[in-house]
Amino acid sequence: MDGARPLSDADDAFAAALAARLPDGRVSRPEPGHLEEPRGRWQGRGGVLVRPATAEEVAEVVRACGEARVPVVPYGGGTGLVGGQIAGEGALPVILSLDRMRAIREVDPRENVLIAEAGAILADIQTAAREANRLFPLSLASEGTARIGGLLATNAGGINTLRYGNARALCLGLEAVMPDGRIWHGLTRLRKDNTGYDLRDLLIGAEGTLGVITAAALTLHPRPAGEGTALLAVRDPEAALDLLAMARDRMAEGISAFELMHRQGFGFLSEKLPETRQPWPDPPEWSVLIEVGLARGLDPAQALEGLFAEAHEAGLVTDGIVAQSEAQRAEFWAVRERIPEANRLIGAVSSHDISVPLSAIPEFVRRAGPALAGIGDFRVNCFGHLGDGNLHYNVFPAPGRSRADHEHQRDAIKGCVHDLVHALGGSVAAEHGVGRLKVPDLERYGDPAKLAAMRAIKAALDPMGIMNPGAVLRAD
């Protein structure tokens, strides 16, 4: 960064100057919601809220901030879990909300392309695709609130990554405002385009530190002709991996989701959300929720029953239920989707969004429990997207104790889990991003050559360091 001059607060004078450069009604004070985030670790301290209506207005905001050296924090749905949307320290920022830019500009089912502005809500994009008889497969718990600009900026994952890839894999082109206030008109809908460096994928996952995404060209997929869901009890995570390989051999790309759940999750549901209808009378230690979407001519329930029979025969699966109706499918998914909510109600001491190579999952699970037991007495809820090697490994107090009792152990817990992940060749920021939470982890575990390249790129594209300072990379 051009660090000699510090950044300036977005104060009342700046707000007035900014308002004068924009149409009426764009500039205001932040609402309380803009200063909070879901896990309550960061707290904004004010600043100026700007809600532009066009990419040109976004560019004007970024130029004004550049001239005054005021930080810009892009704001989507506010659902991020790592503090990327809250500047808790440093100069007071402009909070640049994209919520006014929520148009879905175009849906082209023949080309399998949908063009959305950054503020479009994921569920609305899914609906628009469905109405054109297509699928936009990105799907995650916060889809009713999360906006596509933020989902791309954080390269969001979710439950269908196994089959369709993460947010990055679903984006063909971007329109974005660069830190110098220029608009990059990169809203291409091309499947092949090798005209120079991959600026699209650089902005995706940069969490607003290299520019502001204002619109995206997204990839649609055909909707599977038939879908089916099964809940299977597996012997252990090793058996779950063998089951995945078997399922792939039988159904190839047909597997849309492959979710692992530990018994602890069902216990938390009973404890905190007892109205949830539970599928197992007596939950097994490990369950797999598998969803398939198959082409015409194949019967999903029959395919799942065939898989169950073979896996049972091979000793991988001890019990199983193939959903017999849409209602039962929805019930299975409700269980999976309510686990994070039950977790929140229990109150985790430390949550870990990690990934390891698939083959290392059994070793990770085997070693993490005993390692944590050396720190204290905890309950662990391990669940997540097994097919992606992505587990949410969340650590909770023993019954009768609270997270406050373990506050002093949080760093030790995190270090214990992350050290193990790193030793196994994994990632300590699998699908939620780095934000502000994991900046120290990146410094500790990141590859030095990659970190040096990241810092050089940041300094080159944002020499004043105004774009979301403190996220991903430490602000000077």
Structure tokens at 203: 């902005």
Site string for its own copies, 1-20 (x = CB under 8 A): --------------------
Q: Applying CB under 8 A, which part among 116-124, 259-267, 290-298, 324-332 lies near its own copies?
A: 290-298
Task: Work out whether the CA dihedral 274, 280, 388, 381 comes out positive or negative.
Answer: positive
Q: Does 249 bind its own copies (CB under 8 A)?
A: yes
Instruction: Report if residue 165 touches its own copies, rule: CB under 8 A.
Output: yes
- The answer to the question of residue 61 lying near its own copies (CB under 8 A) is no
Q: Which of 202, 273, 334, 412 binds its own copies (CB under 8 A)?
A: 202
- Of 203-222, which residues contact its own copies (CB under 8 A)? 204-206, 210, 221-222
Residue 311 is a binding residue for its own copies (CB under 8 A): no
Which member of 21, 359, 371, 398 binds its own copies (CB under 8 A)? 359
The partner residues of 177 in beta bridges, in order of sequence, read: 183, 212
For its own copies, the closer of residues 231 and 434 by Cβ is 434
Nearer to its own copies, 38 or 376 (CB): 38
CB contact set of 465 (below 8 Å; sequence gap of 6+): 1, 2, 3, 7, 458, 475, 476
Integer Cα distance of 304 and 252 in angstroms: 13
Residues numbered 77 to 116 that lie near its own copies (CB under 8 A) are 108-113
**Of 108 and 319, CB closest to its own copies:** 108
* 390 φ/ψ sector (left φ>0, alpha ψ -120 to 50, else beta): beta
Contact criterion met (CB below 8 Å) for 272 and 216: no
303 contacts its own copies (rule: CB under 8 A): yes
Residues 197 and 191: their CA atoms lie apart, in Å, by: 16
Q: Which of 53, 103, 132, 298 binds its own copies (CB under 8 A)?
A: 298
Q: Are 431 and 156 in contact (CB under 8 A)?
A: yes
Q: Which stretch binds its own copies (CB under 8 A): 10-18, 118-126, 249-257, 282-290?
A: 249-257
Q: Which of 295, 314, 330, 371 binds its own copies (CB under 8 A)?
A: 295
Determine the 3-state secondary structure of 384 from DSSP: strand
Q: Please identify, using beta-carbon distances, which residue of 295 and 404 lies nearer to its own copies.
A: 295
Binder to its own copies among 195, 281, 374, 408 (CB under 8 A)?
195
**Judged by CB under 8 A, how many residues of this single chain contact its own copies?**
101
Q: Which stretch binds its own copies (CB under 8 A): 117-125, 259-267, 310-318, 349-357?
A: 349-357
Cα–Cα distances in Å, from 288 out to 43, 260, 295?
A: 37, 5, 23
Instruction: Give me 100's structure tokens.
Output: 């006014």
Name residues whose C-beta falls within 8 Å of residue 198's C-beta, 6 or more positions apart in sequence.
none
By CB under 8 A, tell whether 327 contacts its own copies: no
- Residues 413-432 within binding reach of its own copies (CB under 8 A): 425-432
The pair of three-digit structure tokens given for residue 151, joined into one six-digit string? 């989902």
What is the rounded CA–CA span in Å between residue 273 and residue 278? 10
Q: Give the tokens for residue 241.
A: 């991996």
The answer to whether residue 224 forms part of the interface with its own copies (CB under 8 A) is yes
Rank residues 123 and 358 by Cβ distance to its own copies and give the closer one: 358
Nearest alpha-carbon partner for 69 in 464, 457, 463, 462 = 464
Does residue 476 belong to the site contacting its own copies (CB under 8 A)?
A: no
> Which residues lie across from 400 on neighbouring strands?
none
Nearer to its own copies, 226 or 397 (CB): 226
Residue with the two structure tokens 């100057």: 17
